[in-house]
Amino acid sequence: MPKNRKFGNCWNMDRELKNILSEYIIHLKSKTISKDELYDFISSKKPDLNDNTFRWYISQLKNNHILSEVKNGLYKWTNKPPFRPLINEFLVGLNDDINKAFTETKFCCWSTDWLNEFSRHQTATNYYLVEIEKDMIDSVFNYLMDNTEFHVFINPDEQTLNRYIQSETDPVILKSLISRSPLTKHKISPFVINIPSLEKLIVDLFCDTELFNYWQGEEKINIYRNILKQYDVNFSTITSYAKRRNREKEIKDFLKVNFSHIMKELS
């Protein structure tokens, strides 16, 4: 953590509290702090603190990437940037085509090219994924096939991936969106695109081994290691989403074996 962490003027917190929290950050360095501990500290400096004001402080600190929630009720100070993957024209166009035709349908889009930021070996062939409500997959597939030039596949197995998709240029894969998937919104004016959070990518790489067969084994560990090094993730979000995919225990065990120093800190 930098010795002189500054909050800047992008959010409306009084100068006294900014100075107090700046000193506290330097004192804590990389240690975690519970919600109750943070409340006690701020209230010791500002006796008139109430729950609503405290929640607002937390929100401001998180939104400005000063405070990171590593699991429910546990935080750490951070200077890591938010995850901002490259959203290219192809992805913007794909998102826009679906969004215009299916205005009430929830979906997210992303590219496996994003994984190259974290992997040791760079893939020559990448594909685009659209995760969409299960009962809308066939409708979206038919629409894209009839009205666009996209090369579209539905839930391909490993044989289809190896035999057909890897030889395609910019293939698009449709798959079911798990309910309550952790997504984030990115604005590419005038468009807003839902993309998977890093927590979702971590779990999906673990669960969908056929779809992401190139990024398994040591490569998956490399990807996880680099994600955790470069960005903040919420481990409660990881376990909650993994539970929805019926893989909570397995991914917890995997993380404990390969990232014991981090998991020990959270226990």
CA–chain centroid gap for 258, Å, is 20
Q: What are phi and psi of 55, to 5 degrees?
A: -60, -35
Q: Are residues 102 and 63 in the same domain?
A: no
Same domain for 152 and 248, yes or no, is yes
Which residue, of 32, 52, 77, is where some domain finishes? 77
Domain-located, residue 180:
yes
Please report whether residue 146 resides in a domain.
yes
Boundary of a domain, candidates 77, 102, 124: 77
* pLDDT value at residue 106: 95
Residue 153: in which H helix or E strand, if any? strand 151-154
Q: Which of 182, 12, 1, 17 is nearest to 83 (CA)?
A: 182
126 found inside a domain: yes
User: Based on the structure, what is the number of domains in the chain?
Assistant: 2
Helices (H) and strands (E) in the chain, counts: 11, 9
Q: Which two structure tokens, joined as six digits, stand for 169?
A: 């240029």
Residue 138 inside a domain? The answer is yes
Q: Are strands 74-77 and 107-111 parallel, antiparallel or unpaired?
A: unpaired
Residues 150 and 38 in one domain: no
Are 227 and 129 in a shared domain?
yes
Regarding whether 105 and 49 lie in a shared domain, the answer is: no
State whether 145 and 33 are in the same domain: no
Question: Is the domain of 37 the same as that of 161?
Answer: no
Q: How many CA atoms lie within 13 A of 2 on its CB side?
A: 9
Do 37 and 155 belong to one domain? no
Sequence-separated (6 or more) residues with CB below 8 Å from residue 126:
111, 112, 113, 116
Amino acid 80: pLDDT: 85
Residues 29 and 145 in one domain: no
Q: Is residue 208 part of a domain?
A: yes
One domain for residues 131 and 19: no
100 with 206, same domain: the answer is: yes
Domain that holds residue 215: 89-266
- Torsion angle of alpha carbons 247, 248, 254, 260, nearest 10°? 170
**Domain closes at, from 56, 77, 98:** 77
pLDDT at residue 47, as a whole number: 85
What are the per-10-residue average pLDDT scores of the chain (267 residues)?
Answer: 43 64 67 85 85 86 80 82 92 95 96 95 89 97 96 92 88 96 90 95 97 94 95 92 96 92 65
Contact 155, 174 (CB under 8 A): yes
